[in-house]
Structure formats: C-alpha cells, structure tokens
C-alpha cells in the first residue's frame, strides 16, 4: 500500500519525534527498537539527557518482548535537532506529541508544514483533540491523521487511528500498515469524538469509580480491587461485548439480553455525575495516597512496566489460541473467509 510520495510503511527509515515527554520518548524507544532513526526535537531543558535515560530504561522490556534485537539502544540512530521544522525536513515521517492544547499544536503543525514536503505524512498523538480541529490550521490537511498510543507507548499494543474530515483515505490505510509494522494493534475509528474511543470507555469506568468513592460505596482500595480481580482478568482476553455474549451461556448475547437486559439498563445508568470540584480533587488525591502506600510514582511505574511484560506475553499467547473465524457460505455456494462484507482491499507495491 502506497501513500502520497510512494513511500511504503516498511521503507520508513527515520521519524521526527516532535515533543519528547513521556509519550514522545516512548515513541522514540519503539522506533529505535525497530531500527528506525528517531530525530527528536523538544525545547525543554536537558531533554536529550532525559530521552536517552528513558530509552535506556525502556530497552530491557523491549528486549524481553522480542521487539528490540540489540543488547543496547543504537545511539547513532537517536538524534536531537534545534527545531520542529528541522526534524520534519530530515525525516520520512512526523510524529507530533506536543502539549495537549490546540493552540500549541497549531503553532507546531504550522512549523512542520513550512519545512516538510507537501506529501510527508504527519501523525498526531493527541489523546482527545479531534483531528478535524487540528486540520483547520494545516495547508495540507489531507496528510494529517491521529495515531494515538496508550501509556507506556513502547509497550502497550493499542493505537487508535482517527481521520479528520479532510484526511486522505490512503493516509489512513498507510497509518494502519505502519502501526502493524511496529507490532501495534491498530483500531480505525469511523467518526471523531472528544477523547476518541478508548479514553471514552475508560472515562466511563472512572466516572463510576469516582462516584462510588465520593458516595462511600467502598474504599479506594476496594474499588480498584474490584476492577483488578473482577474485571481485568477477563478484559485481558476479551472486551466488554464478548464478555456480555459469553455471560448468556449457550444462548449468547440474545440469551443474556432476554434474561437480564432490563437489569443491565439499570446498571449502566450512571449513579451520578461527579464534578471535578475542589472536594472531589482532594478526595482523589487522598485516594491516590492510600493506593500508592506512600511510595513515589516512579516506583509504581517501574513495577507496572516490569510486570506488563508477563501480562502482554500472556495476552499474545491467548490470542494465538483463540477460536478462529468460521468459514461462511456465500450466496451461490462458495465458502471462504471473505463471505461477508466487502472484499479486502489489495495492497500495491
């Protein structure tokens, strides 16, 4: 599959990483693990030292997952430049990760566009700004697409690919193919929404958790325990819709809806709408202290990333052994995986 400029996803040799906070540094580590040069710009003081330290710390996990093939990061492939425009001009692809403010992103995108060729694709890591809003400040909006990762981006498989109204179809398809080259599990959103898809699902759980905390339904520890031990183990294997389907036993989704549909409607009706006022913020900060047991965030991040390796291995193994799609009969008697829906689009090149 070709994008404007005829560059295949497998042929990308360098990526501009614009903004190198936790997301940008994480992208840089992943690009390096795949042998792709990371050309980084971040105006923050001591950004190069911070990014190098992040990559060094991320490398053992990337090695353990089989993503990185070298014992240490390829230092020669990690470069730092003085401006976003310079990084964009020197690279095959741009990954923008600057502050989550529309005006800041508009300014940076203008600098990128002024320096990059008109057919160079621009990814944005924005976690919630609709791409059409970003495209409003672009001279070539057709080449911009959101590719939103999840923290930590070098380990978590999911990325959301979100097109704006003026994003070219071939750019979306190219972004999906490039994400797969990185070993990601990309999902393609069919419409724009604030927060995209996964953050909206996550926020629905947050809303209920915060309300239960504020109303005294349970302690912070027990709320998180309910999620960790009641929901998360199944979520490792399947999503909420498949979980609901299996809850119906042999009758599947139809069975559970017939038996429990009215009750489910009561359960999903929000208990309340917590507001992020001073009282809620103070209670959440106190809850975080309870959950963290007095240990600093850095220790918990290290613990999370170390144990994510085993979790992701288990998830991969389970996915490989999952039941496969059954062959379905086409009208006219032909069988095959493409029996329903449109035939898959063939790849060029």
Tokens of 121: 């694709």
Average pLDDT of adjacent 10-residue blocks, the chain of 349 residues: 70 97 96 98 95 96 94 96 97 96 94 93 94 93 96 96 96 97 96 93 94 96 96 93 93 93 89 92 95 93 92 92 74 41 35
Cα distances from 264 to residues 5, 247, 260, in angstroms, run: 50, 12, 6
Q: Where are the domains of the chain?
A: 9-189, 198-319
Neighbours of 129 (CB within 10 A): 20
Q: Are 167 and 230 in contact (CB under 8 A)?
A: no
Per-residue pLDDT, 328: 59
| Domain over 198-319 is classified CATH 1.10.287.1770 | no
| Domain over 9-189 is classified CATH 3.40.50.970 | no
As a whole number of Å, the end-to-end CA separation of the chain is: 6
Say if 9-189 and 198-319 have the same CATH topology. no
- Is the entire prediction scored with pTM above 0.75? yes
Per-residue pLDDT, 326: 75
Per-residue pLDDT, 281: 95
């Amino acid at each position: 599959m070709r994008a404007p400029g005829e560059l295949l996803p497998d042929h990308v040799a360098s990526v501009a990483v614009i903004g190198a906070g936790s997301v940008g540094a994480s992208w840089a580590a992943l690009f390096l693990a795949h042998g792709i040069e990371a050309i980084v710009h971040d105006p923050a003081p001591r950004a190069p030292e911070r990014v190098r330290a992040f990559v060094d710390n991320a490398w053992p996990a990337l090695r353990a997952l089989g993503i990185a093939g070298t014992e240490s990061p390829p230092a020669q492939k990690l470069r730092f430049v003085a401006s976003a425009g310079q990084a964009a001009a020197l690279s095959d692809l741009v990954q923008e990760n600057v502050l989550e403010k529309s005006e800041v992103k508009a300014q940076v995108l203008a600098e990128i566009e002024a320096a990059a060729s008109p057919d160079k694709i621009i990814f944005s890591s924005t976690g919630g700004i609709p791409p059409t809003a970003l495209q409003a400040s672009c001279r070539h909006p057709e080449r911009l697409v959101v590719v939103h990762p999840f923290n930590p981006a070098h380990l978590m498989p999911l990325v959301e690919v979100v097109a704006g109204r003026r994003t070219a179809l071939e750019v979306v398809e190219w972004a999906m193919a490039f994400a797969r080259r990185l070993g990601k599990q990309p999902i393609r959103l069919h419409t724009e929404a604030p927060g995209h898809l996964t953050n909206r699902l996550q926020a629905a759980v947050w809303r209920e958790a915060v309300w239960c905390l504020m109303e005294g339904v349970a302690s912070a520890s027990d709320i998180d325990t309910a999620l960790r031990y009641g929901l998360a183990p199944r979520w490792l294997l399947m999503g909420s819709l498949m979980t609901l389907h299996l809850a119906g036993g042999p009758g599947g989704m139809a069975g559970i809806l017939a038996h429990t549909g009215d009750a489910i409607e009561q359960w999903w009706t929000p208990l309340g709408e917590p507001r992020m006022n001073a009282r809620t913020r103070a209670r959440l900060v106190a809850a975080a202290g309870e959950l963290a047991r007095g240990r600093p965030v850095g220790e918990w991040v290290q613990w999370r990333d170390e144990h994510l390796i085993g979790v992701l291995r288990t998830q991969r193994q389970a996915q490989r052994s999952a039941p496969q799609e059954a062959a379905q009969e086409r009208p006219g008697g032909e069988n095959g995986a493409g029996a329903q829906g449109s035939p898959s689009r063939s790849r060029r090149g």
